[in-house]
A and B are shown apart, each in its own frame.
Chain A
Amino acid sequence: MDPSKADIIARLNQDILPLQGYKPSRQGAPQVLGLGAIENAFPNKVFPLAAIHEFCCKDQEDETATGGFISGLLASLLLHGGTAVWISQSPIVFPPAMTYFGLSPEKFIFISMQKEKDIQWAMEEALKCGGLSAVIGEIKDLSFTASRRFQLAVENSNVTGFIIRRDPRPLNSTASVTRWKISSLPSESADDLPGIGFPRWQVDLLKVRNGRPGSWKLEWIKGKFRLIRNVNTTIHQPQKKTG
């Protein structure tokens, strides 16, 4: 390819990104959420803020793993004193556990609504509110129209939205910037110590607009994400008495 042509294409790509809902970071400098090599998968190699991220979960365990992953992301997002809203049908998140991910639980406002429809309404209202840093919503059915409305809301308000979808059926196309699937992996403790190691997740980026989907293994250790390159085959030791 002609170098000038490559330049033109690169420039056009840059022009297209804002039209598709990617915004350059507010402060100008890209904000790194500590995802390491995963961030290469995103356009401009920056985790897209002011956008909607969708997470698919199979069961409650997956949902918790997803919650953990999102909490890890929020740790850097809320570092400079932002507030987040967690909208769900019934409050099940246990705030003290958030301290493990470096979050201050008092900065979260938990909202529970009676119906799916109400959650979507509340989610849209919250996404429009520029005073928030992040909105997490537990929504089962997300239509394309609804996701488009969310996306339009965040484009004005710069809020980052996370949608946790439990057992979505059918897995329809939405206007979200990314679609993730997080599930738990067996933990490993160093030097064969008994007991449970640090939380470990299988992170699948199923869909990312203008990026490269991929699959990674992550561990939350000492308040940071750590990418696991080559996973050793786990040898199950006979159970030992602990504690």
Chain B
Amino acid sequence: MSKRFLSIWFDHLKTDWFSIREPRLKSMPFVLRIPSHGKMIISASNILAEKNGITTGMAVADARAILPGLEVQDDKPELEEKLIRRIAEWSIRFSPFVSMDLPDGIMIDATGCSHLWGGDSPYMHDILQKINSRGYSAGIAMADTAGAAWGLARFSGRPYVAEKGLHAHAILDLPPDALRIENEIIERLYKLGLRRIRDFIAIPRTSLRRRFGDPFIKRINQVLGTEEEFFEPVVPIEPFEERLPCLEPILTRTGVEIGLRRTLEQLCHKLSQEQKGLRNACFKAYRADGQVSELNISTSRASHHVDHLYRLFEDKLSAFKVEPGIELFTLTSSVVEELPPLQEKIWESSGGLNDIRLAELIDRLSAHKGLFSIQRFLPAEHHLPEKSIRPAVSLTEEASTTWRKDLLRPLQLLSPPEQIEVTAPIPDYPPMMFRYKGKIHKIKKADGPERIEQEWWIARGRHRDYYQVEDEEGKRYWLFRSGHYNETRSHKWFLHGFFA
């Protein structure tokens, strides 16, 4: 069966995209610019600008001289590829085999597709009309070979359907540019007076090859269909999603639980086949009144463990609105990570921080609404006690420095330190007694002072002189005086912690 190809050429792809976003640009000459060799040059222009003689590659300053009212905006790099990919993915509705034809077109393998639209012409016009209604102008053509369709889309000047077997005739009047060959060869052909394909298509291949090289012959063969051409189809990324439609609207919690479990099992099966695990999941129920109930969970490490994920959802199910009946369940995961299978252990042990059971516990706790914080601390290189620890980012993060063991620190630290009243001999003796929460503590033993300066390069404030003290009952405290003794400025004493 002979093949059919449909080529679409977006002649003003980028400017069309800008005009869709900013409709006022449609009615004015408009160009995009990129910096090149120290000056701004035009990278794309719309139809109105082109009518005034402004072309791609012209310096912006020159274009402004021609047309003072020219609208200029910055080009976005890699915009073309993104747009073409998006359009190609969208076009999969017309044929399962669509490929990107960079920089400004797509190629659709329409073999066996057009009869669904009632023929080649209605098929092509339907596509063209859909593209135009989205705001893009396009050249379009259909032929037996990709090369012929490519050339016809760009150079025939109208939507063109080359009948089966007639593609070689259709291209005869096109310029050599329609052959997808290098500019250098095109220029040489023009110099030789070969302005139409019909001028040189009949010349023996051996003499053509001698003058223009192999790639030129290859292109001609591709256009004529004597040489096969291959394309890489666009494969859209399939989202990790499961759907479960219900015959009757679901009204009971049991029904929701079944729906949840079934979609979870399917999704987790798919994930485990691909050695992946999900980091978040969204369970949606489409209700009969047109509203959507939604539950979201996230995990601290990738997981495809059905029971664990189910439990995370289960904690939240009580707030799930079911009335007036659920018609469709969907379960989607937008963040998925690699999860290589682990070797199963014969015996169980406390695996430390890498234990999956620990990660699952953390997930369950963090899903709970009464949670204030879950923290794990690592040492930080600061002397001030409250700055000497930092929360770890993940369960498995390693400490970058070691814990300091040479300084004695209290087991409980008040944050912020509480001000106390103190009787202390000056200048740097430990206090003799202090009052905390109305109770007077007489100090029997003391160690200190240990001076900790503020980090003057990032923070302001006074230094602290820390004392470890023990009162008559044997209770041990950590006190500090803020700043020096000074007649003019008041100094304050604080209780900062309790020793074991």
A11 interfacial contact with B, CB 8 Å: no
What are the residues of chain A within 8 A of B374 when measuring CB–CB?
Answer: 109-111
Given contacts A92-B414, A125-B364, A199-B500, contact A184 B377 (CB under 8 A): no
Check if A93 is an interface residue, CB within 8 A of chain B: yes
One of A110, A196, A220 near B447 (C-beta < 8 A): A196
Chain A interface bracket (under 10, 10 to 19, 20 to 34, 35 or more): 35 or more
Question: A95: CB under 8 A from chain B?
Answer: yes
Report the separation of the CA atoms of residues A82 and B388 in the bound assembly, to the nearest whole angstrom: 24
Contacts A129-B358, A196-B445 given; does A239 touch B432 at CB 8 Å:
yes
B246 on the interface (CB 8 Å rule)?
Answer: no
Segment from A28-36, A60-68, A146-154, A205-213 that makes contact with B: A60-68
**Within 8 Å of chain A (Cβ to Cβ): is B411?**
yes
The answer, yes or no, to whether A130 is at the interface (CB within 8 Å) is yes
Interface: A18 (CB within 8 A): no
Q: Which label, helix, strand, loop or mixed, suits the secondary structure of the A interface?
A: mixed
Query: Interface digits, B370-408 against A, CB 8 Å rule (1 contact, 0 not)?
Result: 111111111100000100110010010001000111001
B139 near A: Cβ within 8 Å?
no
Contact B375 A109 (CB under 8 A): yes
A232 within 8 A of B: no
How many A-B pairs with Cβ below 8 Å? 207
Binding-face segment, A1-9, A38-46, A100-108, A173-181: A100-108
Which range holds the interface residue count of chain B? 35 or more
Neighbouring B residues of A108 by C-beta, 8 Å: 376-377
B411 in contact with A64 (CB, 8 Å)? yes
Q: Are B500 and A68 touching (Cβ within 8 A)? A: yes
Main secondary structure of the interface of B (DSSP, over half): mixed
* B interface footprint on A165-179 (CB within 8 Å = 1, 0 otherwise): 000000000000000
Contact A94 B385 (CB under 8 A): yes
Minimal beta-carbon separation of A21 from chain B (angstroms): 20
Given A83-B353, A186-B444, A196 contacting B403 (CB threshold 8 A): no
With both chains docked as a complex, state the minimum distance between the C-beta of A205 and any C-beta of chain B, in angstroms: 18
Assuming the contacts A64-B500, A108-B376, asked whether A196 and B470 have C-beta atoms less than 8 A apart, the reply is yes
In the complex, the answer to whether B379 meets A64 with C-beta atoms within 8 Å is no
Contact flag A236-B352 (CB < 8 Å), given A111-B374, A113-B370, A126-B361: no
**Closest chain B residue to A65 by CB distance?**
B500
The yes or no answer to A200 lying at the interface (CB within 8 A) is: yes
If A83-B352, A242-B446 touch, whether A220 touches B470 (CB-CB below 8 Å) is no
Given A67-B411, A105-B403, A106-B392, A95 contacting B377 (CB threshold 8 A):
yes
Q: Is the CB of B445 within 8 A of A96?
A: no
Q: Does A112 contact B (CB under 8 A)?
A: yes
Determine how close the nearest CB of chain B comes to the CB of A67; give it in whole angstroms: 5
Question: Quick check: is A228 within 8 A (CB to CB) of the other chain?
Answer: no
B418 to chain A, nearest CB (A): 11
* Assembly CA distance A93 to B376 (angstroms): 12
Complex Cα spacing A201 to B372, Å = 32
Q: How far is the CA of A197 from the CA of B472 in the complex (A)?
A: 14
A91 contact set on B, CB distance < 8 A: 373, 375
8 contacts between A and B (CB under 8 A): A107-B352, A110-B375, A113-B372, A130-B348, A187-B445, A189-B445, A236-B444, A243-B467
Leading 6 A-B pairs by shortest Cβ distance: A68-B500, A118-B370, A131-B357, A131-B355, A186-B474, A94-B413
Given A96-B389, A97-B409, A186-B444, 17 other A-B contacts at CB below 8 A? Answer: A64-B411, A68-B499, A68-B500, A71-B411, A94-B412, A94-B413, A99-B404, A105-B377, A109-B375, A109-B376, A111-B374, A112-B371, A122-B365, A129-B360, A186-B445, A187-B470, A220-B500
A interface, CB within 8 angstroms of B? 60-61, 63-65, 67-69, 71, 81-83, 85, 89-101, 104-115, 117-118, 121-122, 125-126, 129-133, 183-187, 189, 194-197, 199-201, 220, 236, 239, 241-243
